[in-house]
Chains A and B, each alone.
Chain A
Amino acid sequence: METHIKVARSRTKSQAISKRSSTFKNNLTIFLFIAPAFIIYAVYVLYPIYSTFNYSLYEWDGMSEKTFIGLQNYVNLLNDAIFWTSLTNNVWVVLTSIFVQIPLGLIMALMLFAPIRGIRLMNSVYFFPFLMSTVAIGLLWVLMYDPINGVINQLINLLGFGNIAWLSGSNTAMIAVLLVVVWQFSPFYMILFKAAIVGVPEELYEAAEIDGANAFTKFIHITFPMLMPTIVSSSILAIVGSLKAFDIFYIMTGGGPNHSTEIMGTYMFKQAFVNFNMGYASAIAFLMFFIALIVTIIIQLMDYYRKKKGAIS
């Protein structure tokens, strides 16, 4: 009797051990699958974010000893007029995305469903700008904006106006660069909207037609509401997009003239790799990270509530 119990006990024990060793083996397998990607990601993304915060607490030229100054860099940042200019310009980039790029992308997408010929040509050509490298786009448009030989001034001459030095005037430079940003990124929104339009159920339109709706009312009452989630998330993502903006501004104006096209990306780069104010630049960089983090959290929360609502209804 007792031996039976003993045997039974030792059996459960050995089962527990083998179960534990199998979960250990399982965990090891999971670890081995994820490790290569995670290690590279940790070395080049996660740890650097921490380092950036750490550097931002020091005064440092990148070479000699660091001096700890606490939050002084952030205080200086708040009193730095150029920083505020660049932050404002970032806001302009966001507003341009929301009020120009997204509507234009929507129009482009709608044109692909219009009852006219040449859809295939439009489909190909409208997407071209998004494929070119930003550096090439910048150089191309700098030449097109050229005060003497540029094609844009030629066009303006035809309309009866004098030449404008687009990129060297403080008032015009920002608008000129933003136009190029619109040119480059509208096609991206076009493909997002195109996919969303394809996803609208055909029955809705058929039902509306029976009720006597025309193309315009169909757009207002069916297409537009169905596209609203895409519009909202694209608008929020535009904030992150503006933080990532750098290449086009660096190539076309370098932030000039007189900081009129300075954005956070170009200002951070200048402070870090031209003036070698690595600590100060890190403070700008960490602020950029922080804004992106808040946007990410907002999007996650919106997603969460949308799913919750979907589960209830």
Chain B
Amino acid sequence: MINIMKKISLYIIAILLLIFTGYPFLYMISTALKDQSSFFEKPFALFSSFNLENFVSVFEMGLTRYFFNSILITVVAVGVVMFIGALASYPLSRMNFKLNRVVFLLFISGMMLPIHATLIPIFKLTENIGLYDTLWALLGPYIAFSLPISIFILTQFMREIPKALEEAAKMDGCTHFGIFWRVILPMLTPALMTVLIYNFIHLFNEFIFALVLISSPSSMTLPLGLQDFKGEFSVNVPGLMAALTLASLPILVIYLFSQEKVVKGLGGGAVK
């Protein structure tokens, strides 16, 4: 009897948490599928209608452009971070030299830095080099702020690679870059996946740099564009919901296909 009571209370907690975490998504998707009049008639009925018009109108309003911008800047920034992050992690994790510890700590402490502490100087710098209000204004800040966590993950992983492999390659006359390129990098794939996922999701959703460095719609990324939609859709709730659904879709799809990797990636090295 006590056992059954216990089970029931566990199920109740589980279901309450499912509603708490999942309901807003159901509400968003089901509202996106309603037209204006059915939204006002029955705003809370779940999946009472199935209407794709909102999605079409969202695309017509320029969401495609924001989408493309976001994907482009995210892919380029993450690609650069993976490469130069791995390069820097190699000596930091596998060589002894004087400033090793200092340089390492300088990089790592960047994880704790509030972006605001760099915002005004980066804004001025971007203006001065003539990148203000272009998509590429975001590249430098995105790379720089992704480096700390990436180097943290990569150095942790590289320390585990046995030294013997490296020595064998050295015997064969490999240069340091040769060792890095042919020995270390191929073994790094799992760590690079973590770096890729973590940074992709964070940069795809990044807001404050975009807000400060970009003002015209043609250069906007998705989060910034969404915020702009808010004004246009202030009366059209289903339209805005359609935009939100579409904006959340890519990451949710990636998640559903490789759940374990995404969870591990977002744990950012804390979760092994």
Q: A30 within 8 Å of B by Cβ?
A: yes
Q: SS class of chain B's interface: helix, strand, loop or mixed?
A: helix
With CB as the reference atom, state the residue of chain A lying closest to B107: A41
B120 x A272 contact (CB < 8 A): yes
B226 x A139 contact (CB < 8 A): yes
Q: How far is the CB of B93 from chain A (nearest CB, A)?
A: 11
CA distance A240 to B207 in the complex (A): 18
A45 x B145 contact (CB < 8 A): yes
Chain B contact residues, CB within 8 Å of chain A: 7, 10-11, 13-14, 17-18, 20-22, 24-25, 27-28, 39-40, 43-44, 84-85, 87-88, 90-92, 95, 97, 103, 106-107, 109-110, 112-125, 140-141, 143-145, 147, 151, 175-177, 180, 201, 204-205, 207-208, 211-212, 222-224, 226-227, 230, 237, 240-241, 244, 247-248, 251-252, 255-256, 259, 262-263, 266-267, 270-272
A289 x B223 contact (CB < 8 A): no
A195 x B272 contact (CB < 8 A): yes
B271 x A273 contact (CB < 8 A): no
Partner of B24, one of A36, A118, A134, A144: A144
Q: A130-B266, A144-B27, A281-B120 are in contact. Are A295 and B112 (CB under 8 A)?
A: yes
B18 x A121 contact (CB < 8 A): yes
Chain B residues within an 8 Å CB radius of A107: 13, 17
B147 x A37 contact (CB < 8 A): yes
Q: How far is the CB of A151 from chain B (nearest CB, A)?
A: 6
CA distance A135 to B270 in the complex (A): 26
Chain B residues within an 8 Å CB radius of A194: 271
Partner of B103, one of A34, A118, A122, A288: A34
Partner of B92, one of A34, A140, A143, A265: A34
Specify which of B109, B113, B207, B237 lies most central, judged by the most chain A CB atoms within 10 Å of its CB: B113
A278 x B120 contact (CB < 8 A): yes
With CB as the reference atom, state the residue of chain B lying closest to A47: B121
Chain B residues within an 8 Å CB radius of A122: 14, 17-18
Q: A124 within 8 Å of B by Cβ?
A: yes
With CB as the reference atom, state the residue of chain A lying closest to B31: A143
Q: A52-B121, A278-B120, A289-B117 are in contact. Are A125 and B18 (CB under 8 A)?
A: yes
Chain A residues within an 8 Å CB radius of B113: 45, 49, 289, 292
Q: A45-B144, A52-B121, A133-B247 are in contact. Are A154 and B43 (CB under 8 A)?
A: yes
Specify which of A43, A51, A136 lies most central, judged by the most chain B CB atoms within 10 Å of its CB: A136
**A30-49 interface bits toward B, Cβ cutoff 8 Å, 1 = contact, 0 = none:** 10011011101101111111
B271 x A192 contact (CB < 8 A): yes
Question: Which of A7-15, A72-80, A167-175, A242-250 is near enough to bind chain B?
Answer: A242-250
Specify which of B21, B109, B247 lies most central, judged by the most chain A CB atoms within 10 Å of its CB: B21
Question: Which of A92-100, A108-116, A201-209, A219-227 is near enough to bind chain B?
Answer: A108-116
CA distance A129 to B266 in the complex (A): 13
A-B CB pair tally, cutoff 8 Å: 252
B226 x A135 contact (CB < 8 A): yes
Partner of B87, one of A37, A154, A268: A37
Q: A282 within 8 Å of B by Cβ?
A: yes
A265 x B21 contact (CB < 8 A): no
Q: A116-B7, A132-B248, A251-B227 are in contact. Are A36 and B117 (CB under 8 A)?
A: no
Q: A37-B84, A139-B226 are in contact. Are A116 and B10 (CB under 8 A)?
A: yes
A33 x B180 contact (CB < 8 A): yes
Chain A residues within an 8 Å CB radius of B223: 133-136, 247
A292 x B176 contact (CB < 8 A): no
A296 x B121 contact (CB < 8 A): no
CA distance A151 to B271 in the complex (A): 36
Q: A30-B91, A132-B251, A191-B266 are in contact. Are A140 and B244 (CB under 8 A)?
A: yes
- 19 CB < 8 A contacts A-B: A33-B90, A41-B144, A45-B145, A51-B121, A111-B14, A131-B248, A132-B248, A134-B207, A136-B244, A139-B227, A139-B230, A140-B24, A151-B43, A191-B266, A191-B267, A268-B116, A285-B116, A285-B120, A288-B117
B240 x A139 contact (CB < 8 A): yes
B24 x A141 contact (CB < 8 A): yes
Partner of B237, one of A143, A188, A246, A284: A143
Q: How far is the CB of A61 from chain B (nearest CB, A)?
A: 12
Instruction: List which A122-178 residues lie within 8 A (CB) of chain B.
Output: 122-136, 139-141, 143-144, 149, 151, 154
